[in-house]
Amino acid sequence: MGYRYIGSKEKLSDIIISEIKTIYPEATKIIDLMAGTGLFSKALRLNGYCVTAVDVMTYSYHHLIVNLILQQSPEFENITAMISLPKQKSVDLFDSSRYELVIKYLNNLAPINGYFFREFSPEGIPLNGTPSRKYFTVENAAKIDAIRYEIRSLYNAGSINDNEHSLLIHDLMMAANDVANIAGTYGHFLSKFVDRAKVPIQLTPSQFVADYNNYPHRVMLGYAEELAPSLEGDLCYIDPPYIKRQYAANYHILETIAREDEPEAIGVSGLRPWRDQYSFFCSKLHIRKSFERILNAIKCDNFLISYSEDGLLPIEDLMTFLSKFGTVSKKEIKYKRFKSNNSSKDSTLHEYLINLRKL
Ligand SMILES: C[S@@+](CC[C@H](N)C(=O)[O-])C[C@H]1O[C@@H](n2cnc3c(N)ncnc32)[C@H](O)[C@@H]1O
């Protein structure tokens, strides 16, 4: 399944980057203000830009460390003493990097009936007394528990450093995405296990591509509105949420993997408490105020803003609002709509790229 992230710009990267090159050919420093999966940040760095990426979600932070900061596999220097490598697999020890060995070690852990088993599998008994949930098969949930605990204890023991830790969390989230019993997002689970969800979960080593620029790319976790005063760039790309549904609710299980905690699982769907990551961009009432805080505070004069015809604000209203800050123009892109499996909406979507040049 890979990553089905609402609003992901993975497939639009080339168009957006060519627009950046057109409107600001000399730009070198780009801010990717709501970076999500980090795939667009990665495309920017591979196009020679120095990137600062921001998002309010912890899972995004880990994806960004992998996609933006890591140019090659980390060494996992301190790992060998800690892990007794699986004896039955010793034949390929000499061909594998330490990173690959760690992945094999995690894949071979014995399952543990922990938090994921209890809250997200059909044999678990959720603490809040609701019927069991079917996000993962029993085996996969217990495997996720085992891998989570091991990553945590390796990190606590100082056997993996911050980047290695982010990489393993990223790999676990990607593997969980492949076997999650959901229709696109984690807002709810499906009532019957689909075939994809019955496959045993497997971590796969990430691939790395270096950009050889030696730029000091940066990743920042937090609200764009609050970080804006500390940000500076030639151009700021803003890709805000455009619907009411919060990312924190839609991707709550990834957030729990990323934060390595065991939060109260609320209601039938088992959502984590997510108010601390509420996005004002999902509220018609607050979206303008948030834009205003950002546009006034960032040290940057050129903005490129993605928005969708499905957005909370009609595109013309957004253009009128943004024109208070400078000159605006827009480009229209026809795009394949993000569709959860049960959506009946038309499959073509109009995306807009708004260029704001501050006065
Ligand atoms: C449309 S998605 C971005 C997708 C991203 N461009 C990609 O290609 O993966 C919007 C992102 O904005 C983030 N977000 C929402 N409100 C935010 C805020 N106030 N500050 C920072 N990030 C925010 C969400 O967590 C989400 O990842």
Coil, helix or strand at residue 110: coil
Torsion sign over Cα 5, 10, 13, 15: negative
Residues 20, 304: contact at Cβ < 8 Å? Answer: yes
How many domains, the chain? 2
189 alpha-carbon distance from chain centroid: 19
Q: How far is the CA of 194 from the centre of ligand 1 (A)?
A: 29
The predicted pLDDT at position 335 comes to: 75
Q: Is residue 270 part of a domain?
A: no
Instruction: For residues 196 and 83, state if they share a domain.
Output: yes
Q: Among residues 188, 207, 226, which one ends one of the domains?
A: 207
The predicted pLDDT at position 341 comes to: 56
Residue 94 has pLDDT above 70, yes or no: no
CB 239 less than 6 A from any atom of ligand 1: yes
Other beta carbons less than 10 A from residue 267's beta carbon:
9
Q: Which class for 224: exposed (0-12), middle (13-18), buried (19 or more C-beta within 10 A)?
A: buried
CATH of residue 236: 3.40.50.150
Pairwise CA distance, residues 269 & 119, whole Å: 10
CB 279 less than 6 A from any atom of ligand 1: yes
Residue 90 has pLDDT above 50, yes or no: no
Q: Among residues 147, 182, 207, which one ends one of the domains?
A: 207
Closest atom, ligand 1, to C-alpha of 223: 20
The token pair that represents 185 in the structure block: 């997002």
Instruction: For residues 198 and 336, state if they share a domain.
Output: no
Instruction: For residues 90 and 44, state if they share a domain.
Output: no
**pLDDT band for position 88 (cuts 50, 70, 90):** very low
Instruction: For residues 309 and 334, state if they share a domain.
Output: yes
The token pair that represents 260 in the structure block: 């390595």
- Which residues have CB under 8 Å from 317's CB, separation 6+? none
Strand partners, 330: 354
Instruction: For residues 147 and 121, state if they share a domain.
Output: yes
Q: Given strand 326-336, what is the order of strands in its sheet?
A: 218-221, 50-55, 29-32, 235-238, 302-308, 348-358, 326-336
Q: Is residue 275 part of a domain?
A: no
CB 13 less than 6 A from any atom of ligand 1: no
Which residue has the least CA distance to atom 15 on ligand 1?
A: 279
Tell me the pLDDT tens digit for each residue of 3-45.
789 999 999 999 999 999 999 999 999 999 999 999 999 999 9
Instruction: For residues 156 and 80, state if they share a domain.
Output: yes
Q: Is residue 291 part of a domain?
A: yes
Residue 165 has pLDDT above 90, yes or no: yes
**Half-sphere exposure (CA, 13 Å, Cβ side) for 53?**
29
pTM: 0.94
Torsions phi, psi for 348 (to 5 deg): -105, 135
Domain enclosing residue 55, as ranges: 1-71+217-241+283-359
pLDDT, average across residues 140-155: 98
CB 64 less than 6 A from any atom of ligand 1: no
pLDDT, average across residues 249-260: 98
Closest atom, ligand 1, to C-alpha of 240: 10
Instruction: For residues 128 and 235, state if they share a domain.
Output: no
The predicted pLDDT at position 346 comes to: 63
Q: Is residue 252 part of a domain?
A: no
Instruction: For residues 59 and 94, state if they share a domain.
Output: no
Instruction: For residues 123 and 29, state if they share a domain.
Output: no
Pairwise CA distance, residues 250 & 262, whole Å: 17
CB 250 less than 6 A from any atom of ligand 1: no
Q: Is residue 167 part of a domain?
A: yes
Q: Among residues 187, 207, 227, which one ends one of the domains?
A: 207
- Which residues have CB under 8 Å from 141's CB, separation 6+? 116, 117, 120, 121, 124, 135
User: How far, in Å, are 58, 195, 337 from residue 286 at the CA level?
Assistant: 23, 41, 25
Pairwise CA distance, residues 37 & 274, whole Å: 19
Instruction: For residues 120 and 147, state if they share a domain.
Output: yes
Q: Is residue 278 part of a domain?
A: no
DSSP string, 299-325: B-SEEEEEEETTSSS-HHHHHHHHTTT
The predicted pLDDT at position 61 comes to: 98
Q: Is residue 85 part of a domain?
A: yes
The predicted pLDDT at position 116 comes to: 98
Q: How far is the CA of 277 from the centre of ligand 1 (A)?
A: 11
DSSP string, 14-79: HHHHHHHHHH-TT--EEEESS-TTSHHHHHHHHTT-EEEEEES-HHHHHHHIIIII-SS----TT-
Tell me the pLDDT tens digit for each residue of 190-239.
999 999 999 999 999 999 999 989 899 999 999 999 999 999 999 999 99
pLDDT, average across residues 290-314: 96
Instruction: For residues 196 and 289, state if they share a domain.
Output: no
Torsion sign over Cα 211, 217, 221, 223: negative
Instruction: For residues 86 and 202, state if they share a domain.
Output: yes
Which candidate, 309, 321, 288, 313, places its Cα nearest to that of 353? 309
Tell me the pLDDT tens digit for each residue of 68-82.
999 999 999 988 755
